[in-house]
Amino acid sequence: MSTTRTTVAVLGPGGVGGLVGALLARAGHRVVCLAGEQTVVVLRQDGLRVDSNRYGDFTAAVESDTSCASR
């Protein structure tokens, strides 16, 4: 198992991207979600919430912004 931390950008964290982003964040990777303004506000306040029979129920803190120009 690798211990290298990576940075991943999720473009529009919907069902699939949100799940993958949350799993990566939970594993210790840096996740930046690019989304619309309202979604960015929610992600900054609440993180990505996962309710899954397979992966468990958890909330992952992620970074979020409306563009990647400042990253």
Average confidence (pLDDT) over 20-30: 97
Reply yes or no on whether the pLDDT at 56 is more than 90: yes
Instruction: Tell whether 45 is covered by a domain.
Output: yes
Instruction: Tell whether 2 is covered by a domain.
Output: no
Instruction: Tell whether 1 is covered by a domain.
Output: no
Q: Which pLDDT belongs to residue 2? A: 64
Give the count of domains, the chain. 1
Reply yes or no on whether the pLDDT at 71 is more than 60: no
Please report which confidence band the pLDDT of residue 70 belongs to, taking 50, 70 and 90 as the band edges.
Answer: low
Average confidence (pLDDT) over 12-31: 96
Instruction: Tell whether 70 is covered by a domain.
Output: no
**48 SS3 class:** strand
Closest-CA residue to 59 (of 36, 41, 42): 42
Domain containing 58 equals 7-65
Instruction: Tell whether 18 is covered by a domain.
Output: yes
